[in-house]
Amino acid sequence: MRKNTFTSNYTIGDSAYDEIGNICNIYGKKAVMIGGKTALSKASEEIKAAAKESGISIIDTLWYGGQASFENAEMLAANEAVQGADMIFSVGGGKALDTCKILTGKIEKPIFTFPTIAGTCAAMTSVCAVYYPDGVFRDVYFRHAPAEHSFINTKIIAEAPTKYIWAGIGDTVAKAYEPEFSSRGEKLDFSNTMGVTLSSLCKEPIFNNGTKAIEDCKEKKSSEEVKEVVLSIIAATGTVSNALEMKYNSGAAHAICYGFTIFPEVEENHLHGELVSYGVLVQTMMDNNIEELEKLIKFYKSVNLPISYKEFGVKEEELEKVIEKACSTADIEQACMKIDKETFRNAINKLEDFINKKLV
């Protein structure tokens, strides 16, 4: 039984780092900054300057090791500067942030996250995806709590490659549909109800601002629309995922995404969020919700998210393998309907018919 529910603490804006002093000062005066190489090159100077302004010294800057692994967390835990620091400033994308969440969970120090891309909600969730050093998925790790606070610099995020926010949108839209799909008909407690209720924030800001936000990111321009979409990707998804029990946190959309990962060329050429976004269409068709499906397809076309599995280079005769893998995942165990191979097959075929009729 869960004891704790966390909501997201964050500062967002082009000058989000100016708040470092106001938020971090009560935790101490010495921080170690740990992150990805690109992320550090984009953000470390600005973080250092803002920290200095508020009397916090960055006693060392370290690379996180390149993979979100227990091994890298251990390597960092052995570092003298880390041992002497009052808190950890974690800078980068999901893997760097997750590594620092594992580290600070184990050594029991406060962590502040500085996401430099908006690809996942790692900056605000307590859950971490853990990999073996060779990149194979290993397990999930739950920190006792999410990061103390997240400083989201929209200027830095808007300057990052657009593919991250684009795929982040795909993964976030799934969070708008999967919790409701998985929990429908169940008697939910307060925390789960909060998660399902807030999950609408994983689509409305995106439908309303997503197209403009992507255009702005292509021009490396921060804007109100970028801010709204980034909050949906990081804060809404983070809060929803922290509030929900694990079994309501996923669904058929993720199952079909994992199905496609059996083809290495699909894994290599397509991002997680892109595959999941297609899964959302399959799940919505499974649910026979044509009204939502039309909304989704209209939005996907405006931002170039996939509407057919053929866009991944997968052929019709290869679908059976994808479906088999999807059916083997735990993601479909908790759902508002019984899901088997036939359910997937029907939904995928009906979706193809639907888009082909719509496209002509």
Q: Closest residue to Zn ion, Cβ-based? A: 171
From 99, 96, 78, select the one nearest 141 (Cα to Cα): 99
DSSP 135: S
Stretch that binds Zn ion, among 21-29, 53-61, 169-177, 302-310 (CB under 5 A): 169-177
Q: Of 99 and 277, which has the nearer Cβ to Zn ion? A: 277
Element (H, E) at 11: strand 10-13
Rounded Cα–Cα distance for residues 8 and 202 (Å): 14
Q: Which two tokens stand for residue 71?
A: 């091994």
The two structure tokens encoding residue 127: 């859950």
Among the listed ranges 37-45, 76-84, 96-104, 165-173, the one in contact with Zn ion (CB under 5 A) is 165-173
Residue span binding Zn ion (CB under 5 A) among the ranges 170-178, 193-201, 231-239, 292-300: 170-178
Cβ-based nearer residue to Zn ion, 89 or 309: 309
Closer to Zn ion at the Cβ: 171 or 245? 171
Between helix 341-359 and helix 290-303 the angle, nearest 10°, is 60
Span of 76-84, 163-171, 209-217, 335-343 interacting with Zn ion by CB under 5 A: 163-171
Phi then psi for 152, rounded to 5 degrees?
A: -105, 105
Report the nearest approach of Zn ion to the CB of residue 226 (Å): 21
User: Shortest Cβ distance from residue 172 to Zn ion (Å)?
Assistant: 9
Q: Which is nearer to Zn ion, 110 or 168 (CB)?
A: 168
For Zn ion, which residue of 171, 216, 228, 245 counts as binding (CB under 5 A)?
171
Q: At residue 47, what is the residue type?
A: I
Instruction: Write out the two tokens for 336.
Output: 């508002």
Interatomic CA distance for residues 175 and 171, integer angstroms: 7
Between 110 and 179, CB nearer to Zn ion: 179
Q: How many chain residues are in contact with Zn ion, going by CB under 5 A?
A: 1
If you ran DSSP here, which 8-state letter would residue 195 be given? H
Please, what is the minimum distance in Å from the beta carbon of residue 165 to Zn ion? Answer: 15
DSSP string, 219-246: TT---HHHHHHHHIIIIIHHHHHHHS-G
Least distance between Zn ion and beta carbon 230 (Å):
17
Least gap, CB of 184 to Zn ion (angstroms): 20
Indicate the residue among 32 and 231 with the shorter CB distance to Zn ion.
231
Q: Count CA atoms closer than 13 A to 81's CA, side-chain side.
A: 15
Query: For residues 98 and 171, which CB has a smaller minimum distance to Zn ion in the complex?
Result: 171
Q: Which is nearer to Zn ion, 40 or 253 (CB)?
A: 253
Cβ burial of 173 (10 Å; 0-12, 13-18, 19+) is buried
Q: Is 331 in the site for Zn ion (CB under 5 A)?
A: no
28 φψ region: left (φ > 0), alpha (ψ -120 to 50), beta (else): left
- CB 307 to Zn ion: min, Å: 19
Within 336-355, the residues that bind Zn ion by CB under 5 A are none
Distance CA 309, CA 180 (A): 24
Binding mask 116-155 for Zn ion (x = CB under 5 A): ----------------------------------------
Q: Which is nearer to Zn ion, 271 or 303 (CB)?
A: 271
Q: How far is the CB of 171 from Zn ion (least distance, A)?
A: 4
199 near 175, Cβ under 8 Å? yes
Q: Give the shortest CB-205-to-Zn ion separation in angstroms.
A: 18
Of 200-229, which residues contact Zn ion (CB under 5 A)?
none
Q: Which residues contact 190 (CB under 8 A, 6 or more apart)?
A: none
Please say which residue, 171 or 287, places its beta carbon nearer to Zn ion.
171
Binding mask 76-105 for Zn ion (x = CB under 5 A): ------------------------------
Q: Are 209 and 158 in contact (CB under 8 A)?
A: no
**Lookup: tokens for 25:** 């000062």
227 Cβ contact list (under 8 Å, min separation 6) = 12, 13, 154
Interacting residues toward Zn ion by CB under 5 A: 171
